[in-house]
A = this chain, B = another copy of it.
Amino acid sequence: MKPLIDDIRRNPLFWLLALVPVVLLAQTAWPESHTLLFALSVLAIVPLAALLSRATESVASRTGDMIGGLLNATLGNLTELVIALTALRAGQYVLVKASIAGAIITNTLFMLGASFLIGGLKYHVQEYNRNTARLQASLLFLATIAILVPSMLAKADEAATNTGLMGSLSVALSVLLIVAYGLGLLFSLRTHRELFGTVEQPDEGHGPEWPLALALTTLAVVTLFVALVSEVFVESVQQAAVTLGMTPAFVGVIIVALVGAAAEMVSAFSAAAKNRLDLSVGIALGSAAQIALFVAPVLVLVSYLIGPKPMDLQFWGGAVTMMLISTMTASLVTNAGRSAWFGGALIVAVYVVFAMTLYLLPPRT
């Protein structure tokens, strides 16, 4: 337990863990105070997410490069997965989809752009490995197309949506995306690993890696707590949004995504500030690709087991457009392999355009 306690003591972020019991108590005491429960659960998820990625990294670092890479690639977005599973079980498909779209948009635009901006304010020009960025951007492009094409064609023929064909198509596309994600790992971790440089583990600030037993136990226990807090979050979010005057789309796409990715952002930004932009780009785009090609398809497949009814891959038009623009922006920007502050500012500005639009215009979901 000592390394865990050391870590918690060292990082002020972890002090928010105190809110976890508070949330659970508050839910029993004031089940109708949606805004309070929403705020508390948001704040409680952030340190849990940080703890989860810390534990995942520790397990990964103890299990060798290949398995470690696989673990990071599958459990790296465990928080997002647990939140989405909770929403799925509650039948909140709109929230699930909004949070998937939001995670992709937030990681490719806000996390990447702010990394460039933060790095660019300290360093005149920064360089990074283009191959990593290209691989992840290509995977994202495939995922966006897999979501775009059926969403577009479905609009053209409402009948298809009713007859379960969209369900079959979503399952087929999900399997395709997971296979593509697996091939991407095979490519970057095995057959062509020399192209992807050495994106080392982030070792900044936190102490030595934990022993395997501690890491695994933490992983299990924290996942359970994330699930419990997520339940509070999912139940309160819609009501809280109404009270706070925010559209549900804004909450799903912007708030949930920022909360879920908070821990990774800390890593990406501090890497950028240390001129290790390779790492920042890897975290931002890798995480987006993972959500699009692993988390989202897994949710579709799992929805056949746990949801009140199956979930499909059909997103509303605005979400598809924003995902497509995010992917294209990431593609165009990272093509250069160099960055300066202005590029980061522009990417963040695209994100702000999305956020402002979602805040003011309620989309048809």
Contact = CB atoms under 8 A, between A and B. Distances in A.
Interface of A: 124-125, 134-135, 138-139, 141-142, 145-146, 148-150, 152-154, 156-157, 160, 165-166, 168-169, 172-173, 176, 179-180, 183-184, 187, 191-192, 316-318, 321-322, 325, 329, 331-332, 335-336, 340-343, 345-346, 349-350, 352-354, 356-357, 360-364
A172 B356 CA distance: 8
Contacts of A157: 361-364
B138 A322 contact: no
5 contacts: A135-B342, A149-B357, A152-B318, A165-B360, A331-B332
A317 B357 contact: no
B361 A160 contact: yes
A169 B357 contact: yes
A223 B161 CA distance: 43
Given A160-B362, A166-B361, A142 B317 contact: no
Given A318-B153, A332-B331, A169 B360 contact: yes
B346 A153 contact: no
Contacts of A335: 335
Nearest to A179: B349
Q: How many copies, total?
A: 3
Given A192-B340, A321-B152, A341-B191, A176 B356 contact: yes
Given A149-B322, A156-B317, A192-B342, 12 more contacts: A124-B192, A138-B343, A141-B329, A142-B346, A142-B350, A149-B318, A149-B321, A160-B360, A169-B361, A176-B349, A180-B345, A191-B340
A341 B183 CA distance: 10
B363 A153 contact: yes
Given A321-B152, A356-B172, A361-B165, A187 B138 contact: no
Q: Top 8 nearest A-B pairs by Cβ distance?
A: A187-B342, A156-B364, A169-B360, A160-B361, A153-B318, A153-B361, A165-B360, A149-B357
